[in-house]
Structure 1
Amino acid sequence: MNVERETVTGSRTGAARTWRIASVASVALVAGLLSGPGSRAEEAPAPVVIAYACVLPPGASPEPSASDGTDSGAGADSGAATGSATGNAPGAGAAAGAEKLRITVEIATSLPSAATVGKPIQPGPVRVEARVPYAELAPRFPTGTTGLSGEATLGVQVRQNDDTAEATWSRLTAQTETPAAEEELRLGHSGEVPTITVGSPGDIELAAGGLTLTVTPTVDGAPADGSTATLTCEPSDPDQAAFARVAVPGDGSPSAPGSSASGATPGDGGAGRDGIDVAPDEDGPRGAETCPAEQPTGDLDLSQLPEPRPGTVLNPPFKLPGVPVCAYAVGLGSVRKLNGSMIINDPEREPALMNVRANMQSTTRSAGPFYVRFDSLGALDLPDSRSTFLGFGFTPVTAAVEFETTPITISTGTIDVFPNAEPFAVVTFFQSLRLHDVKVNGTPLDVGPNCRTSKPFRVTLRGDFTSTTGRYTNVLIGGLLTGAVDIPSFTGCGTKGEDVSPLFTASISGPGNLITMNQATVCSPGGVGTPGCPPAIPPLPGAKTP
């Protein structure tokens, strides 16, 4: 069921936006949704492997790799990419004649088998797995590197008939453990991407273009400042870079005016009536330029953590100074009884920024099976959420929800070692909901100033480390977090002696209300996590209600 904004008849098929961190809101309130028009991802074709040639920024060059007979470009990199990943030749920014590092890239995404003229096509979460000889990167990273995080930007050429347009799939993130020097580094980047709309029938073909990869080492769970390596790459054979195709049937006539943007001519990458419209991934409200000065305060709540393996003896938590970071988190919360969902921290309005004191304490084992954990504290003052649902299946009811949220504990870690390693991410806090500005079929319903849940309820979200797309990594890198909440009964609803609390309790309260939040790389004013600065606004997770 697709999520909508304040309307029962509209649909949300806009571009995937930019993204961020875990807070949430058991939000559940009134939230309703009907399926909207547009083509959603429904089929997952086999991944396609594409060969790429990459260069590294100028600097000290390590010895060429002899493992496959190819030369490698190299150089220390402490900053951002020097090439562009929005076109077919990002390597143009590299020094002429630079030696190339050969890598392979596996691309996979879900797409509908067929699409409709004038209706946006939303590719499913994509996976871009880069396979890089680790011996070429290892000399750039500090001693003690235990993990690697990556961010990828992929240029995608969209082709249909004689038209082409360029899409940019950006802020795709990945994280993995450090491989042995002689092994291959595999970074499985994933994330949400913009929609595509076409103005005429004809098969659509997607082809991979320029690729920028940023790889950051982590030491003791935190990014190593100043040791980021950036590769700018292009397909070794652009004619062999196609990875997906979608049929757009029709009678050959162009779409009606207004189905896509006007004013562009076919073939210029724009969106004429018969052209291709690639929704930008940077439109909508922009986020804050930097993190708030104040740091979150409060006590950590460690009651929801998974148990260590039997026989593990833990050391007392080791206090750390913590790293001041911030990020956005946006998501969806379902109301099971209403079979609907609502948007939390709406990315198309003025979303609130999550302030985090990251890695403020660490816990390890003193005996027994391996265990390591980092605990962080977050604070988020969510904006009110407004949503429309169908009361009793046919009456539109609109309401605003105010969220009262306690400090947020974010714990990430690993239990045991390979092949039995179990990474975990747990986000937990308490929350209360207050309903106001309620309208039934457009007529205001006065519920008073104190229509709220009868008590705070616990929200616990957990990261999914098994998914191939959008999986959670850690508090600095982010990903998708999900959980279910039990919404308490409502109290204080109504005025002039009329108590409508039982109506809201009957319609909303109960267990099994699902929440999904999207978190990404954080921004740190002190330099940690700089790929996430300034804080960017993430796209909503897939708008499906179980």
Structure 2
Amino acid sequence: MALLAALLPSTGSTAREQAARVSAGYLCEPSSAAGESATAATAVNVGISATFPETGTPGEPIQPGALTVRVSLTKAAAGEVLGEDAATVEGSAALTTEVAQNDERARARWTGLSAAGAPVPDEGELELAHTGTVPPVTVRSPGDLTFTADRLDLTLRSAARNEQSDPGTLPDTTAGDDTPPGPDQRLVQLTCAPREGEDTRLASVSVPEGAAGEPDTPPSGSADAARGAEGGGGPEDRAPADGAQDGGTADGDADAPGIAVAPGQRGEAAVCPAEPPVGELDPERFPEPPPGSSEGTIGASLCAVPVGYATVRKQDGAVLINDPRRAEVGMMHLNLGQRTVSGVDYLESDSLGLLDFPDSASAFLTFGFQPVSARIAFETEPATVVNLVKAGRATTSVGYYQRLRLYDVRVNGVPLEVGDNCRSAHPMDTELTGAYPFMEGGLLKGEIDIPPFRGCGGEREDLDPLFTAAVSGPGNVLEIQQGPVLGAGTAPTVPDLPRR
């Protein structure tokens, strides 16, 4: 048997694993989006455990095992963060990890870690164990690959004892983070960082010399990615494929072309603010009301997450807008029903919306042969959102003006100096429409004319004609999937990308 086993091929055997355990002190501060919370930094103890393979192969995914993040708060810290009357608490967490090999660095944000509800002890420490699975990492080259824990984001929901109920009964806190906190509940978001001098290195995976492979998803900004979902494909295949994103990293991986971090299941949006946004609606976007209708107002703070893509017709490709698999997903903050119109079989709600889109990465084969990558900032003005129910049919339109600004431009991987003011010459009139009830969410479609570019190249050279020739023009299609609208104090649901 032993001789026979020695002759059998080794493919399919289980790779040896190593256990990773880290214990470190962290300092946590309230998130700016979390509303009222503790004003001073709170000290917590964080224990992180997972398994990692001992070795890896270039071009093949390196998959960590299940991850557990234990957060311990002293009695005093729990009272400061959650309130002295907190009886139970549950939470979710996202751990940002630095992934390094040789001279390259990337940042992976491991989201979806959850902790079940636990009672707040009368004595001793409160401990929450956040568990979940994490995506793999793929590298192109040999060399030791290290994982080091860094920032930790916590969302904690506590509930106070209900004086109306039996004193020994704890309230139900199993509703989840999408449920608004009730009068006896408190929602707290904390951003935590390791204390200075703490060693948070999790593991080192040996990647020896061997037959170099290629990652399944080319890293963003590489020449291979120029025909990927963010920058290539035919005009009928512009929807980005799963896994094609900004490297799946918190900060993008433009500086780490040899490390590909697979995307997590879903990014997270911030908590919707308590106060509605302030601004003016655009009356040019209002429909004609029926005779005899009356105006009113609602005025409430609500939020929704829009995700999608915009085609760039001249490049025969697409750019992701607010990628739902990024670590931090932007949202639209609404003053719901800032103006309402009602009539016979007619109900119109006009809401002010502030769009917060994170910058996007793009990669194209410009003019069909030259790999070019860039980052795009969306400079949007307040949107007017019209939700109309007429004759029993619901429609939604979102109209706003925006400029595009280009930066971090690279030609075949070499930086191209474009200056700080390389943007579209004038705002684009953007109008999206969809046949769905606004509160439920649905698909919006529209088309934009990208203006010429101005201010590109600075004083050294005029690059305006280059970007205008490569990008500007009509016929650029937008498809945006709007998620359901949720109230203040909740993190709105992140929808899937639209499919074609």
TM-score class normalised by the smaller sequence: 0.3 to 0.5
TM-score w.r.t. structure 2 length? 0.45
Q: Which has the higher contact order (CA 8 A, sep 6+)?
A: 1
Instruction: Return the structure number with greater strand share.
Output: 2
TM-score w.r.t. structure 1 length? 0.42
